[in-house]
Amino acid sequence: MKYFTKEWWESGCEDAQPLFQRYEAYLASVRSQLPPELVAFDAAHTLHDSEVKSIICNFEDKTVTLVLHGWNQKLEYPVRYTIRFTGVSLFDQQLPQQEYVESELGDLGYWEFEALDSATEVRMLFVSSAEFRIVFTGFTFEHARQKV
């Protein structure tokens, strides 16, 4: 993670407002370089506090699909998200280093994007301290409101 680091999170998210402003300024400067569906997803949805329910990697097709149970953007009702990364050249998973982890991956705390020369990188930080990093060229998503 470049912006929303484990150290920042573990310190109680100190100085959150300037950090969010810096990230938003960066995002605004590269928005035209990001996949349009990713920009649309980020504007209308959130993965904050979502739980990964399925990870499907198809190395032959260069895709990674994540199914997450999360919330709508205002955290009012549950939503099932299916997000697909295409043109995947990297899927790095750093799992918790503690000897025993009660929460598996736990909730997704933060995710951030970075525009690369010819791809996009997404980084995810989970409450367990697990981190995912995916480098990809395309993005699609589906979402469905879940019954409470």
Q: What are the b/e assignments for 6-32, b being 16+ CB within 10 Å?
A: bebbeeeeeeeeeeeeebeebbeeeee
- How many separate domains does the chain show? 1
How distant, in Å, are the alpha carbons of 88, 101, 127 from that of 95? 20, 10, 11
pLDDT tens digits, one per residue of 9-26: 667 767 778 778 888 899
What's the confidence (pLDDT) of residue 80? 97
pLDDT tens digits, one per residue of 23-58: 889 999 999 999 999 999 999 999 999 999 999 999
What's the confidence (pLDDT) of residue 20? 80
| 95 located within any domain | yes
| 53 located within any domain | yes
How far apart, in whole angstroms, are the C-alpha atoms of residue 30 and residue 76? 30
| E strand residue ranges, the chain | 51-58, 63-71, 78-86, 90-94, 108-115, 120-126, 131-136, 138-145
pLDDT tens digits, one per residue of 57-101: 999 999 999 999 999 999 999 999 999 999 999 999 988 777 766
| 104 located within any domain | yes
How far apart, in whole angstroms, are the C-alpha atoms of residue 28 and residue 42? 12
Expressed as residue numbers, the domain containing 133 is 6-145
| 1 located within any domain | no
Q: Would you say residue 102 has pLDDT above 70? A: no
What's the confidence (pLDDT) of residue 106? 82
CA angle centred on 64, ends 63 and 70, rounded to 5°: 145
Residue 72 near residue 139, CB atoms below 8 Å: no
**Residue 60 neighbours by CB distance under 10 Å:** 6
